[in-house]
Amino acid sequence: MSIKVQKERPEISLAYLDSPIGRLAILADSDGISAIFFPNNSEFLSLVEAPASAKGEEWLGLAIEQLSAYFDGRLKVFDLPLSINGSDFQKNAWAQLQKIAYGSTASYGEIASAMGKPKAARAVGMANNKNRIPIIIPCHRIIGSNGSLTGFAGGLDTKRWLLKHEGIFFKEG
């Protein structure tokens, strides 16, 4: 007798948004928005072979509405349910990222200090790298402590566009 264990796959809904920075793939589950992928990232293709979630589709409609308003310059603060998976440290770092106001920036060190862990700048950088919901959790607002651009999953051209869109000036090179 053999027992077959089937891995349970969450219900995920997918939508696309054609934006000024390219076509974004937005994923949601029954709890909220779970990921946004930039055009240069095809990782999401492996995630969408799951049944669609009716509640996820509702969240996608709200996300498209709010992201469109952001790109049109009509929205500065997102109000969306998020479905976030990560360690407690990562979740705390992402919560701090969400406190960086539109048109403002912070460094990894400033985020670490805000978390009460002033020596954890590198760990904040690693958490920032694992953020699956960019723009809404504004990792693009992180710049180097010297004011220069730091890496970004969507590419530095996308980061430049997002920062300029928000009226943020930064050091090149």
Which residues participate in catalysis according to the annotation?
A: 139
CB 91 within 8 A of CB 43: no
Give the contacts of 153 (CB within 8 A, at least 6 positions apart): 38, 41, 129, 131, 134, 139
Give the contacts of 33 (CB within 8 A, at least 6 positions apart): 26, 27, 59, 60, 63, 80, 81, 82, 83, 133, 136
